[in-house]
Structure 1
Amino acid sequence: MTEHPARYWHALADGRIQCDLCPRDCRLHEGQRGACFVRQMEGGRMVLTTYGRSSGFCIDPIEKKPLNHFYPGSSVFSFGTAGCNLACKFCQNWDISKSRDMDRLMDAASPAEIARVAAEHGCRSVAFTYNDPVIFAEYAIDTAVACHAQGVATVAVTAGYIHPEARRDFYAVMDAANVDLKAFTDDFYVHQCGAHLAPVLDTLAWLHHETDVWVEITTLLIPGLNDSDTELTALAKWVATEMGPDVPLHFTAFHPDYKLDQLPPTPPATLRRARQIARDAGLHYVYTGNVHDPEGGTTYCPGCGVKLIERDWYAILAYRLDARGACQACGHAIAGRYGEFHGAFGPRRVPVHVRPI
């Protein structure tokens, strides 16, 4: 497939072009790629080199994104491409997001074909994941439009590092998002991700106040880097104050990988401590991930305290919500998106083949 014309750029007086997609503001000469590696100057314009090219397709449980309040138990059709606009030293998908070998992208599919296959497999939603979908915004937007035409919802799994104009277009066609809040200090973002904290907080606040997108937040806790009581307290208080107590917050365990493979894995006790700090800050729905912790995976009713959705990893063991998303015991409305529950998809991961373009 030929490279696809990209949006979100402008020409500079010196013959270069500037990418306006994310706060990196890459300025490119002819033939040069941006920091994300997938947006390139070609023939005096910007092109997206990964439009229609994926690192693979799978059907996952929605809880794996992680989204615990967006049609719990449903299946989600997941895919991503190569490249990323952050440079996280701890990337858990570095073999995909940091790939410079475009031959790795073995699967090719049009937006319409992705939507058709997702609907054919009974998936409630399609997730743009594995790498950050903002860098393939044109492909993601076109696919989201095609999904909605098939009655399939859309999910962005993202770091939220995007400029306001592109952000408006991108999230206009997203139904849900899990945003990685990598840490709560700019120092961490600068030295561990090659980015800044402020644009991510701006995206989170904008999503909550200006859109109908369902939002959950994930923070990967890395021993000694972003797991202090002080930082976790500040993070939780910001979420409670700026976004409210009903925004789900996931603390997940780091495992040694990529450029931080010398660090130890996150102790389960750290996740439990973080969860308690966030609950003490007033958040109603705080979860732990990447560890075996049934209590930290369970949704509790803020009204009466009953266990509403009991989880073990990605398996749902019990479900006590009505179709409106209200507690069956006390009637308290649980924040999120819900429907009739007919059993969970389960923890399995199913690879799927999509016909080439």
Structure 2
Amino acid sequence: MKTICQVCIHHCALEPGQTGLCGARKNEGGEILCENYGQITSLALDPIEKKPLRDFHQGSMILSVGSYGCNLRCPFCQNHEISMAGRETLDAEYVSPSQLADMALIWKKQKKAGNIGVAYTYNEPLVGWEFVRDTALLVREYGMLNVLVTNGTASQKVLEELLPWIDAMNIDLKGFREEYYRKLGGELETVKAFIARAAESCHVELTTLIVPGENDSPEDMEAQAKWISSLCPKIPLHITRFFPRYHMRNKEATDVEQLYRLARTAGKYLKKVYVGNV
């Protein structure tokens, strides 16, 4: 008998033993379980600006952790080796929430580097949201901070489960046309609802990767910036440069001048617009 996963827009109907589109959630005996729970593929102490977060504890370091799996299919994904992979193809190591929280605390006490908390990043963390929740609770108990780097393609129920423990998010707003989101396997309205709710409860910054010929029109950016401003004109927007990756290796990198033109367009409505990857 099939069981429907409720985590994101795809609502995968899974037979027992079957894994969802994200590669991380599986039907085990009629129950949808987080198969990538604690399966860590990437771990690094990063500058907070790399998330990217420019207006949140600037100059700090944060323990960044990733697993595998993603519920979108972006052809330009820079982390496709883990986000598009399954458990059987990766060399993942199990780390429990308490082990990760302890590690974060140890690195906090190292005066050379320091650490303000944990960032859930690299792959799409919300396909394994239960691990984020369980770890974030312990990290908060240690007096440290939790950062979520996400595509925002998750249900409001998942978001509400996490919001009490998350201090900041960087959310990908990949463009501002529904047809563009459909090409990536996503849904613009779901992401907009996610952003709007998150911005009510924690620090939020947004990132838009500008892909030539896909989401680089001034009209799209104007509509996007207007909408963000309607939530709060102080929400930072990172406009970043595309480089050839994954299934888009034959496309040219984004023209730098175009990035700055789009940044000026966004700046008519937003107080903080940052250009990245230039």
- TM-score, normalised to structure 1, is 0.75
Letter aligned with residue 152 of structure 1: M
> For residues 40 and 33 of structure 1, what CA distance do their matches in structure 2 show?
4
State the 1:150 CA deviation: 1.1
**1:114-156 CA distance string (max 9 Å, x none):** 1111121121021000011110101110010110111110000
SS at match of 2:165: coil
Aligned partners of 1:176 and 1:127: how far apart in 2?
9
Aligned residue number for residue 4 of structure 2: 18
1:195 CA displacement: 1.4
TM superposition shift of 1:101? 4.7
Q: 1:113 Cα shift?
A: 1.1
Query: Within the alignment, does 1:289 sit opposite 2:276 as a pair?
Result: yes
Q: Distance in 1 between matches of 2:53 and 2:88?
A: 30
Identity of aligned residues (%): 37
Instruction: Say whether 1:204 aligns with 2:192.
Output: no
Q: Partners of 2:56 and 2:225 in 1: how far apart?
A: 21
The answer as to whether partners of 1:56 and 1:107 remain within 8 angstroms in 2 is: no
- Count of residue pairs the alignment pairs up: 272
Letter of the 1:153 partner, please give it. L
Cα RMSD (Å) of the superposition? 1.1
Counterpart contact for 1:133–1:157, Cα < 8 Å: yes
Residue 171 of structure 1 and its aligned partner are, at CA, apart by 2.1
Q: Which stretches of structure 1, 4 residues or longer, exceed 3 Å deviation after superposition?
A: none
- For 2:72, what is the secondary structure of its paired residue? coil
- Unaligned runs of 5+ residues in structure 2 are 109-114
The match for 1:236 is 225
Q: How does 1:92-171 map to 2 (within 5 A)?
A: 92-122=78-108, 123-171=115-163
Match for 1:205: what amino acid? A
Which residue in 2 is equivalent to 1:195? Answer: 186
Rounded Cα–Cα distance in structure 1 between residues aligned with 2:165 and 2:91:
25
Alignment-derived partner of residue 256 in structure 1? 244
| Structure-2 residue corresponding to 1:214 | 203
Q: Secondary structure at the match of 2:170?
A: strand
2:31 counterpart residue number: 45
Superposed displacement of residue 280, structure 1: 1.5
Letter in 2 for 1:284: K
**Aligned pairs (5 A) from 1:29-44:** 29-44=15-30
Deviation at 1:107, TM superposition (A): 2.6
Could you tell me which residue of structure 1 aligns to residue 76 of structure 2? Answer: 90
Cα distance between partner residues in 2 of 1:101 and 1:257: 22
Q: Is the 8 A contact 1:93 1:131 kept in 2?
A: yes
Residue 214 of structure 2: aligned partner: 225
**1:142 aligned counterpart, secondary structure:** helix
Counterpart residue number, 1:330: none
Gaps of 5+ in 1: 1-14, 292-357
Whole-angstrom CA distance in 1 between matches of 2:41 and 2:258: 33
Determine if contact 2:171/2:204 at 8 Å carries over to the other structure: yes
Q: Which residue of 1 aligns with 2:255?
A: 267
**Structure with higher helix content:** 2
Specify the code of the residue in structure 2 equivalent to 1:185.
R
> Is the radius of gyration larger for structure 1 or structure 2?
1
Structure 2-normalised TM-score?
0.95
User: Which residue among 138, 161, 179 is the counterpart of 2:171?
Assistant: 179
